[in-house]
Amino acid sequence: MSFAEVLTEVRECAGVSVTAISDRDGIPVECWGGEGGESEELLAEYSTFLREVTTANRELQLGELEQIVVAAERKIVLITNITGTYFLMTVVGRDGNPGKARFASRVAASRLRQDFV
């Protein structure tokens, strides 16, 4: 099954405008959606944020990071860990269904894990 096929259920959630698989440096493996390079810009910015959160999480001994939710005024960004090196980013509009997208992202990350180990 291709990456695009695995992400189909995530993309079909109401309000999802971007899905992307990236490494921790913000280099995309697979991107869907976004206008004018939006997904690449989001990956670059959030990969830095993810590294900082991962470091804090490790120092506080909270266990392995699974998912981060950033709820902003217009959009919600879901960052779901695939492996220690790769993550799935999903962007949902406030008029969408972030709960369903969050669940679908976790399921997709679990399915993708075997391809990245």
pLDDT (0 to 100) of residue 11 = 94
List pLDDT tens digits, range 71-91: 999 999 999 999 989 999 999
Task: Find, among 52, 84, 89, 86, the residue nearest to 70 by Cα.
Answer: 89
Name the pTM for this structure. Answer: 0.91
Percent of the chain beyond pLDDT 90? 63
Tokens of 30: 């697979």
Distances 15 to 8, 50, 72 between C-alpha atoms, Å: 14, 23, 14
Sorted by where each begins, the domain ranges of the chain are 3-116
| Mean pLDDT of the 48-65 span | 91
Residue 103 CB coordination number (10 Å):
14
Residue 37 pLDDT greater than 80, yes or no:
no
Task: Find, among 55, 116, 59, 108, the residue nearest to 79 by Cα.
Answer: 108
pLDDT (0 to 100) of residue 19 = 94
Rg (CA), the chain: 13
CATH number of 3-116: 3.30.450.30
